[in-house]
Amino acid sequence: MPQISDKGHRMPESPIRKLMPFADEAKSKGKKVYHLNIGQPDIKSPQVALDAVKNAELSVIAYSPSAGTLEYREGLAEYYRNVGIEITDDDIIVTTGGSEALLFAFMACLDEGDEIIIPEPFYANYNGFAVSAGVNVVPVTARIDDGFALPSHEEIEEAITENTKAILLCNPGNPTGRLYSRDELERLRDLVKEHDLYLMADEVYREFVYDSNEHISVMQLNGIEDNTILIDSVSKRYSMCGLRIGAVISRNSAVMRTILKFAQARLSPPTYGQIAAQAALQVDQSYFDEVKLQYVQRRNIMVDGLNKIEGVFCPKPDGAFYCVAELPVDSAERFCQWMLVNFELDNETVMMAPCEGFYATPGQGQREVRIAYVLEPESLKKALICIEEGLKQYPASLL
């Protein structure tokens, strides 16, 4: 029998989706499963975007330009200028989701065997993109008892080797909801400048920042204009995850010319996706204000509720719509599976994402789960009751 590639064997499973067979089995038995495992908002997509797709009069669904349509890129450039990021349409390449944007950035900027430093825990699919691009992830560990603050200057510098080519961060963070401060970002800027590294930033949750905090983009850091690469997406901003439209942005013309070659090899981003995404640029600030109010309410319900459960600790996030909770169990993965297979309360249970897969350091995150507070408040309250009761019923033999 032909052999599977080494890269195929090294490609990690998604901790967000790996327990889905158990959730499907639970649902087949009539259980209601509250999905806290995946960042799929229940917020309605903007009507203007839905209408743009419905009303598009295309006789042929043709390829778009490999970099994306000029009209959409010009609209995006105006959007970024309005949030304090001065760029032009030439600094933007439209991609098939933020995932492709990051993969293109990896392939354009790093060679096989090069290293990229990422604060952990991090979005689990970064591991998969790194394997796909032949890049080695070097983690620096952020700690839950410190609210997942950026590791110290010394810890990051210690991780830099002759093979280090880039640092990647997610801001606000997935899975932690951490919003990096100006001081943290400027510390990174100094390291990037000193060692001439790329600084890649996944900023897809930019709009979702709470408690009067301010989001600062890496594109607003002075002195490293040619080092910074921004990864973005409409998936979470407009609750259009299935649209698969993202963008990679950089003022470094050599990087953008290189990324364009990868974009040309995959031909073009989705035509209808760009129609919807361009229309969504018409959404005004009131849309985001309303969505933020909903997420703040949901965050407070979930995080405050978790911290009231005996033995649970969950720092309050400043952005995105995720939190990480430490549970009084030895194995969060075993507990999450047990909740789907063995537990029910009034025929209801909860699916969460075990955090071990969000770390690259073996042994980290074994007692932690990521929770996406993307459900309406009553569902979150019921999910919390399930979690509390599940922890009470969890067999001592599995602790």
| Three-state SS at 381 | helix
Domain ranges, residue 200: 47-280
Mean pLDDT value of segment 297-320: 98
| pLDDT above 70: percentage of residues in the chain | 99
Confidence of residue 371 (pLDDT cuts 50, 70, 90): very high
Whether 341 and 298 share a structural domain:
yes
3-state secondary structure 132-175: HHCCEEEEEECCHHHCCCCCCHHHHHHHCCCCEEEEEEECCCCC
Pair 23, 100 in one domain: no
Checking if the pLDDT of 399 tops 70, the result is no
Enter the DSSP assignment of 344: -
Q: Do 90 and 211 fall into the same domain? A: yes
Say yes or no to pLDDT of 304 above 80: yes
Residue 198 and residue 84 in one domain: yes
pLDDT given at position 74: 98
Q: Hey, is 387 helix, strand or coil? A: helix
- Do residues 209 and 319 touch, judged by C-beta distance below 8 A? yes
Same domain, 24 and 75: no
CATH of the domain at 330: 3.90.1150.10
**What does the pLDDT look like over 43-101, one tens digit per residue?**
999 999 999 999 999 999 999 999 999 999 999 999 999 999 999 999 999 999 999 99
208 plus 111 within the same structural domain: yes
**pLDDT in the model for residue 198:** 98
Asked if 125 and 84 sit in the same domain, the reply is yes
Q: Residue 232: what pLDDT?
A: 98
Confidence of residue 340 (pLDDT cuts 50, 70, 90): very high
pLDDT of residue 18: 81
CA-CA distance, 245 to 262, in Å (whole number)? 16
234 and 121 assigned to the same domain: yes
What pLDDT was estimated at residue 13? 81
Burial (CB < 10 A; 0-12, 13-18, 19+), residue 173, is buried
> Domain boundary at 251, 280, 309, which?
280
Are 79 and 57 found together in one domain? Answer: yes
Token pair 């760009």 is at which residue? 274
User: Mapping DSSP to helix (H, G, I), strand (E, B) and coil, where does residue 231 land?
Assistant: strand
Contact present, 233 and 41 (Cβ < 8 Å): no
Mark which of 280, 303, 327 sits at the end of a domain.
280
Q: Does residue 194 belong to any structural domain of this protein?
A: yes
pLDDT tens, position by position, 265-292: 999 999 999 999 999 999 999 999 999 9
- Under the banding of pLDDT at 50, 70 and 90, the label for residue 396 is confident
Q: Is the distance from CB of 384 to CB of 305 less than 8 angstroms?
A: yes
Q: Could you say which of 234, 264, 280 is where a domain stops?
A: 280
pLDDT tens across 201-242, in order? Answer: 999 999 999 999 999 999 999 999 999 999 999 999 999 999
- Whether the predicted pLDDT of 333 surpasses 80: yes
Residue 142 lies in a domain: yes
- Give 50-54's long-range contacts (Cβ < 8 A, gap of 24+): 50/276, 51/279, 52/275, 52/276, 52/278, 52/279, 53/272, 53/275, 53/276
| List of E strands, 3-65 | 32-35
pTM: 0.95
The answer to whether residues 196 and 267 belong to one domain is: yes
Q: Is residue 155 assigned to a domain?
A: yes
**pLDDT tens by residue, 132-156:** 999 999 999 999 999 999 999 999 9
Q: What percent of the chain has pLDDT over 90?
A: 94
Residue 1 placed within a domain: no
Note whether 216 and 134 are same-domain residues: yes
Average pLDDT over residues 22-35: 96
| Total number of domains constituting the chain | 2
Report the pLDDT averaged over residues 3-12.
Answer: 91
Residue 78: per-residue pLDDT: 98
